[in-house]
Amino acid sequence: NRVWSLGPTLSGTLLDFGDTSAQVERARAAYDASVASYRETVLEALQEVEDNLVELNTLQGEIASQQRAAEAAGESARVTRNQYEAGMIDYLDVATTENSRLSAQQSLLSLQSTQWVSSVALIAALGGGWQQETQPQ
């Protein structure tokens, strides 16, 4: 009796008409899709980090250049003020050079602000983060 009851079960397992191999292929395809998705995520993260590093490097050069320009504008404003105090030029020239000095400083501050934002973006792209500290009550 056991042999006859085992027969249909065994033949059902042996004659599944490719269902088991199809399930294996589906599992392999799902695995391949998961691996591809993971690789894409990693590559996107690396691209984001690289973009932020390039931006920071570019900003570093721009900031150095703008610092020199701001220092030169400050020196020019100082010289112009001394000339005005000596009575050599009128105040309009002083106002113009002061305007140039302030404009150069504003550009420098804008570049530094962009650098800070890019630094935070780089930290976030590297997976870093921060949490606000909760105040004890």
Is the pLDDT assigned to residue 136 strictly greater than 90? no
- Residue with the two structure tokens 């530094």: 112
- Residue 118's pLDDT band (boundaries 50, 70, 90)? very high
The pLDDT of residue 125:
86
- Written as one string, the DSSP assignment of 34-99 is HHHHHHHHHHHHHHHHHHHHHHHHHHHHHHHHHHHHHHHHHHHHHHHHHHHHTTSS-HHHHHHHHH
The pLDDT of residue 17:
66
The pLDDT of residue 133:
66
- Rounded Cα–Cα distance for residues 99 and 80 (Å): 12
Q: What percent of the chain has pLDDT over 70?
A: 80
pTM over 0.75: no
The 10s digit of each residue's pLDDT in 66-97 is: 999 999 999 999 999 999 999 999 999 999 99
**Which range has the worst mean pLDDT, 13-22, 55-64, 83-92?**
13-22
The 10s digit of each residue's pLDDT in 32-52 is: 999 999 999 999 989 999 999
The pLDDT of residue 14:
56
Q: Which two tokens stand for residue 52?
A: 């932020």
Give 89's DSSP letter: S
Length of the chain: 137
The pLDDT of residue 124:
86
